[in-house]
Every structure is written in structure tokens, then in C-alpha cells.
Chains A and B, each alone.
Chain A
Amino acid sequence: MNAIEISTIRKQFGSVVALDNITLQVREGELFGLLGPDGAGKTTLMRILTTLMLPDSGYASVNGWDVQRDYRSIRKNVGYMPGRFSLYQDLSVEENIRFFATLFGTTLEENYDMIRDIYSQIEPFRTRRAGKLSGGMKQKLALSCALVHQPKVLFLDEPTTGVDPVSRKEFWDILSRLKDKGITMFVSTPYMDEASRCDRVALIEKGRILDVDQPDRIVARFPYPLLAVRTQGDTYRLLQDLRQQPWAHSVFPFGEFIHVALSAPVSPAQVRALLLEKGYQNPEAMETTPGIEDCFMELMH
């Protein structure tokens, strides 16, 4: 049995198709990433799976429970960390944890081992009001509250959005350690670099799944050779010039380099020579391997 089963789920809001016949399976114990920008449908899908919203058509189940018929069972047995900070700002850290434990008919003490890794980091602040915590600590508290009842499946909706890179990295370290407890985790994120921390990812854009697989397999499927090009200054002109070339399938800035996907064979030396001819300072060109973001943009095209 798959931990999460999604079959031709469709959801429309007025004329906007938020989810367009989505089919997906998540295996037990997987750390599964749903990658896509704002408006892709991530939150809508998550709300359907956590039984907060009904689909227009299609079928979905969590741990074997149908999201429409067996919503009560799902609600008792999943953990959910929604987009914004969802806890009570004017209750203390400890009060929040105890509140959620009680809601699920259990106690903090009974489940302390489960959340110890995370909760111990904020325990020194247990009497502080949740509203006064830093971004990273709020995340940890929200995660603790989502885990306190030892759920089998954990849903995390953009848990690292708007949070600094240190806390982002720490958060994913925590999730990796949670895998040892056998929890299935379904995490959505707009940050493409987080794909590498997942067992498998689904790329989603405008309500459609572009690809689903292990991150390195998705990368292996990128259909063009890729060059990284840069010059000293003149980036805007370089982008326009490269786009004019018949061998350039796509040209995108990637930090200090420009990624050029080649539709025809051309060597780095040839590109350098061309750029020197056009008057660029210190042109550099080299072969490079694509990342998930290159793949995402190619699939979006």
C-alpha cells in the first residue's frame, strides 16, 4: 500500500484550473518533495490530502484512507504544517505543544522521544510566547506540534519559505533524521535546490505534473548538452547575443554564469572565439551539468 495515493485529482476555482488531473504515488517512509513556484497548485493539493478541501473529481487516499469518506481517520493520524506560522502567537512554546498534544488525545511526556531532536532545541525558551520566536524557532515549534501525536504521514507546506539559509539547511537535516522513525513526509517547496534532499520529487507547474522521479534521474534526462558562459560585465548584451545564435536552444542566467542548452554541436572554444570577436572581455565557456532548475525550465518551455 502506498502511503499516499492520488488518482486524476482535479480542482477548479472559477475559470482557474488549480489541479489538472494529477496522478501521483508516495511510498511509505519516503521523503517526497513537491517542487514548483507560487500558483502551481501545491497548497491546493495539500489541502485536499489533509481533508481541508474536496476535489472536484478523482480519488486520493492517505495511509489507505479515502480523503472524502475516511477524513476523520486521516485527521487523527496525520501531521500538518501549513504555509504560514499556524500556532498561537500569544501562547508560550510549552502551552502550544501541550495544546496540540491534548487535541490529539495524548500528552507531551508520552511522545517526548519522538520530538526530542527538535523540541530540545527550543525547550530552553519554553515559557516564551510563540509570537516572539525567531523564524527558525517558529518552524521548529510548528514541526514539533505537527509530530507530537506520532503521525504516520507528515504534510509540510512550504516549511522553509522566507526563512534564512541556515535554518533552511537545519530544517532539512531534521527531516532527514525523521526518516529513521519511518514517517512518510510530503513536503512542498519553491526552492529547486531542496530537491537533492528528497528521495523522489514531483515537479509541478500550473496544476500539472511535469516529471516525477529521483532527482538524479530527472537530471540525467535533460535532453541537451549544457554550456556555462560568462564574460566580464556586459551581461545584458551577452544574453541577447547568445539568444541570436542558431545553436542556442535556450539561454538563461544562472548567477554569474549563463546556461546555454545546445541544439547543435558547438565547442566551448568556438563560443569563446565568437565572444572575443564580438568584443567581450575575458569570455569563458565550459561544459557543465544541468541541475533540477535547468530541468524544470526545460519542461516548462
Chain B
Amino acid sequence: MFEKAKLRDHQYLKKMSTIISANDLSKRFGAFTAVDAISFEVKKGEIFGFLGANGAGKTTAMKMLTGLMRPSSGQAEVAGFDVYRHPEQIKRHIGYMSQRFSLYEDLTVRENIEFYGGIYGLGFRQLRQKIRDLVAELGLGEVERHLVKSLPLGWRQRLAFSIAIIHDPSIVFLDEPTGGVDPITRRQFWETIYQSAERGTTVFVTTHYMDEAEYCDRISMMSAGKIAALGAPRTLRETFQASSMDDIFLAIARGAQ
């Protein structure tokens, strides 16, 4: 019965064209307004960049969108579910990957896939097939039974991403996924993102690297709790008369001071 319900949801989601919609979404902690009435939409299959300095409200906004925190006011829907009424459904239908919260280093590659597959409710046969697919696609045949901590960082990243979408979510949230790795590995990771988006998965990514903003179809920049810029990188560069995303960021940050 659960399987049938999931299939119904899945088919419904496939028809949706807006995966995230936020309207005047706000979060207040006492007298402090962390997120100040933000409104935006993310379309299916988009690569959407969510940028902003630390303290701008990015993390709080993401927590509300991923069902981890209840908003103070405003509305938001993610993958067809209301953030107030169905946060648990949101968690089941999205993927999530972050720098700090990722794979278990002291489990093998295979054990990690099995573990997360299980958490996301994949059936036994489905999971076995998934393991085979993932191992083949990522070329992990030789290291399937090795501990994750023995893998180079770049492989781990791509594995963590594949695991984050193991249950075929319509949207995956990536929280600063490419910190510190070498430039080639960083780009390989972005190619994995491109491939995913091509297959119809919407990607919501936060990053500190302003040049990565350029890989996105559209971006939003938060400053002091508000969205200060929203649109395609090229359009924003024209609007702000800037030659790079960095310059836009500087212009916005100065404006806020």
C-alpha cells in the first residue's frame, strides 16, 4: 500500500513544473528576523544556486525548505508538500547532501549504499539493483568492499551525491558540496550535477565559490535575511553592470552595510 502511494506521488510530481515555491517566507528568533519575507520559485529540472554570506539567512531558509524548521510566517511548498503540514513527507521526497553530514567513513562503499537505501525505504530487490547500477556508473567495482575513508575525496563526493538521490527524488539539496577539493574534481562533481539535471532532477545548491554560481540556471543571493538578487547569472550581470558574480555579491553586501 505504501508502494502504491509512493508511485502515485511520483507520477504526480513528474507532472509538476514548479518544485519549490516560497511566498513571504519568514523566520524570527525573538526580536531577530533571520529570514525576512523571501519569495521565489524553482522550476523542475533547474539548477538553482542559493548564495549569500554566512549570517545572511541561507541556512535558516534551507532548513525551512527541507522540513527541518517550522517557519514563523509565509508559505512554502516543496515537491508538492506544504512545509507546515507535511515536513516529514518533504524529507522523504527530497535528497540532501552536505559537507559535514555525509557518508560513514568506517563502513564500506556497499554498506553505505545499503544503509541509506534502507533509510529511504527502498525494497530489497530495488536496493540490490541500485547497488549494481551505482557501482557500475561510478566505476566503484574495485572498491565496493573498501572502507569509505580509503577513497579519495572526489570519489566520496560523487558517491555521496549518488546516495543522496538513490530514491529518485524530484529535488536534491546540496549544502556547500565542493569545499576544498582540487579544481578538476570540483568540475567532475558539477558534471555529475549537470547529468542529474538533464535527467530531470532539480538541484538546489548553496556554495561559497562565486564562479560556481555561473554553472546554475538561476541564482538567488540573500543579504540580511532578504533576497537581494534573483535571476539567471547573465541577466544579473547586466542588471548590476558587473563582470562577475563576485562583483554582484560585493555590490549587494556593501548596500547592506
| Interface positions of A (Cβ within 8 A of B) | 36-40, 134-135, 161-166, 169, 190, 192-193, 205, 235-237, 239, 252-256, 293, 296-297, 300
Contacts and interface: CB of A to CB of B under 8 A. Distances in A.
B181 interface: yes
Contacts of B191: 236, 239, 253
A253 B246 contact: no
B185 interface: yes
Contact of B153 (A39, A237, A300): A39
Contact of B183 (A37, A165, A166, A255): A37
Given A134-B55, A135-B54, A254-B211, A161 B183 contact: no
Contacts, number: 80
A18 B183 CA distance: 19
Contacts of A134: 54-55
Nearest to B217: A233
12 contacts: A37-B180, A38-B182, A135-B54, A161-B179, A165-B246, A190-B180, A235-B194, A236-B191, A252-B187, A253-B194, A255-B213, A255-B214
B233 interface: yes
Nearest to A259: B187
B161 interface: no
A164 B253 contact: yes
A256 B219 CA distance: 13
B143 interface: no
Interface residues of B, number: 32
Interface string B217-254: 00000000000000001100000000000100110011
Given A165-B250, A253-B191, A297-B184, A38 B54 contact: no
What does DSSP make chain B's interface, helix, strand, loop or mixed? helix
A255 B183 CA distance: 12
Nearest to A158: B180
Interface of B: 53-55, 153, 179-185, 187, 190-191, 194-195, 197-198, 208, 210-215, 233-234, 246, 249-250, 253-254
Complex A-B, nearest 10 residue pairs according to Cβ-Cβ distance, in ascending order: A255-B214, A38-B180, A164-B53, A37-B182, A236-B194, A166-B253, A256-B214, A236-B198, A255-B211, A165-B249
Contacts of B194: 235-236, 239, 253
A163 B211 CA distance: 15
Contact of A253 (B55, B187, B213, B253): B187
Contacts of B180: 37-38, 161, 190
A164 B208 CA distance: 7
Given A38-B182, A166-B249, 20 more contacts: A36-B182, A37-B183, A37-B185, A38-B179, A134-B54, A165-B246, A166-B253, A166-B254, A205-B182, A236-B191, A236-B194, A236-B197, A236-B198, A239-B191, A252-B184, A255-B213, A255-B233, A256-B214, A293-B183, A300-B183
Nearest to A190: B180
A296 B183 CA distance: 8
Q: Is the interface of A mostly helix, strand, loop or mixed?
A: mixed
B153 A38 contact: yes
A65 B121 CA distance: 61
Nearest to B233: A256
A254 B213 CA distance: 10
Most chain A CB within a 10 A radius of its CB, from B183, B185, B194, B250: B183
Contacts of B153: 38-39
Contact of B250 (A161, A166, A205, A297): A166
Contacts of A235: 194
Contacts of B197: 236
A38 B211 contact: no
Contacts of B190: 253
A165 B210 contact: yes
Given A166-B250, A236-B191, A38 B233 contact: no
A252 B54 CA distance: 29
Contacts of A239: 191, 194
Contacts of A236: 191, 194-195, 197-198
Contacts of A205: 182
A237 to B, nearest CB: 8
B192 to A, nearest CB: 10
Nearest to B176: A162
B59 to A, nearest CB: 13
Nearest to A255: B214
Contact of B184 (A164, A169, A255, A300): A300
